[in-house]
Structure formats: structure tokens, C-alpha cells
Structure 1
Amino acid sequence: MEFVTKQPTVKAPAETFTGDAWLDVIAQGEEPSRIRVNVVRFAPGARNAWHSHAVGQTLHVTEGRGLIQVAGGEIVEIRPGDTIHTPPGEWHWHGAAPDHFMTHIAMWEAPAEGPEVQWGSHVTEEEYHRR
């Protein structure tokens, strides 16, 4: 057994997030493991940009209220206890509802080769508020 040294909380980068969000890396596996686990805390209205994961992603909401949308789909509200899986290559975004904080655990695997995440454009205010 090995205890992993906790890394400091970091502010999510403005290049890929709108609003205030913070990341805590829980696990970043070393080969042969390729698991990634982050706790992400979003302030009201904060969200990430459109993106897709090479090997898919699973989110588990732990507190607050959030929103998620897949490309071409409706915006869906997410709440504590909800677990959502986006398959490999599915474009989506997620973040807090306009009037609530939201925290989720994000879990994904890195591919054997190539980028883990492909980032697209920021979610505009019009897209975010379209319901």
C-alpha cells in the first residue's frame, strides 16, 4: 500500500473553463494504470468548454446542482447522486447551474497513445442559458 501525496487545489484554466472552478487531482495512474480522477468544484454559472474524451468519461455529482449537455442534445440538470457516462469521442460540457454551486468527481482513462481530452470552443452565454 502506498499513500499518494495530495497535490494542492488549482484554479481551472481560463482556456478551458468559463467562470470560477477548482480542481483537486485524486488519482493520476502510472503505467500500466491510466486512470484519472479529479474532484471539480464549480461556482454558480461556471462550466467547462466543449470537449470529448478519447476513452470516455464518468461524472458523479456529490453536491449542488449542475448542468450537462451533449452535442445536439438538450441541457439536462444534474443533482447529487447522479452518475453520467459520456462515451469515447462524445462532445459535451458540464458545470454548475446559474444559481448553485456544483461538485462532481470526474473519472476517465488516458488512451495508450494520443491526447486524453480534445477541447473545443467555450460554451457561450446563449448556449448555457438555452433551455
Structure 2
Amino acid sequence: MTKSKTPVEYPFQRGEKNEAFAAYFTGQSYLHPLVNDPKLEIVVGQVTFEPGCRNHWHIHRGGYQILLVTDGEGWYQEMGKPARLLRSGDTVVTHDGVKHWHGATSDSWLSHLTITAGTPEWLEPVAEQEYDVLKK
């Protein structure tokens, strides 16, 4: 796998600028909803992060989140644990109530599918100092 220096278009379209959740991201992300059926208890979408983009710390209440990395490189971190480097093909399961964040590395785009149940509780941004120490 090579590092994605440009926007990802495969296997799904990048989607539109993620304006609905922009307040909960540092940098620019894009959202392509895939399943948003009110009869289901899950939401499925593709989120694409420009280099350096990441979401704020957050918790999923009454559910979970599954990430399926489709391209690029990024970070995933749970509170109190070291950050984990993500690459295409990696998966992450975040259980109910676990404080975490995820996003692109400083020099690569990241794209992942997200399968989410429950309600997100958005918290503080990832501090620049915390993110900057992750540079490889």
C-alpha cells in the first residue's frame, strides 16, 4: 500500500464537505452517507480526511463505532492509551462509552467507512501538542 497524497475516490466517492459536523473536526473532512435508514439503528458512511484533519475527542453513547480503513494513513487513539497508526485494511471497534478520536496523519489523506450505532457525545479538540508528537 502506498501513502495517499491525494484525495481518495475508491471504492466510494469522496462525498461533500462535511459541513454538518465541521464544528467537531480540526481541518477539512468529507462525508459520503451510504446507509441512513431511520428504520435501522445504525448509520454507515465514508469519511475522508485531508492531511492533518482529525475529529474531536468523542464518546458513542448507547452504541459503538466500527471503522474500516479503505485508503491512506491515519491515527486512532483511546483516552489513556497510545495512538495507533492506521493503514488501508485496518479495522477498529470502539465500544460504548470509550473516549477516542481518529483522523489523518499530517502528510496523508485518510478514508474509512464508519458503522455507528448510538449517539455521539462530542468533546474537546485534540490538542495541537498531542497531535504534533505523532509525526513519524
**TM-score relative to the length of structure 1:** 0.85
Correspondence list, 1:1-131, <5 A: 9-12=16-19, 13-31=21-39, 33-54=40-61, 55-110=63-118, 116-131=119-134
Rounded Cα–Cα distance in structure 2 between residues aligned with 1:42 and 1:61: 12
Residues 28, 34 of structure 1: 8 Å contact kept = no
C-alpha deviation, 1:35, in angstroms: 1.3
Rounded Cα–Cα distance in structure 2 between residues aligned with 1:92 and 1:67: 10
Give the letter for the 2:87 counterpart: R
4+ runs deviating over 2 angstroms: 8-14
Rounded Cα–Cα distance in structure 2 between residues aligned with 1:11 and 1:58: 19
Q: CA RMSD in A?
A: 1.3
C-alpha deviation, 1:127, in angstroms: 1.1
Give the letter for the 1:119 counterpart: W
**TM-score relative to the length of structure 2:** 0.82
* Unaligned stretches of 5+ residues in structure 1: 1-7, 111-115
More helix by share: 2
The structure with more radius of gyration:
1
| Matched position secondary structure for 1:15 | helix
Aligned residue in 2 for 1:5: none
C-alpha deviation, 1:11, in angstroms: 2.2
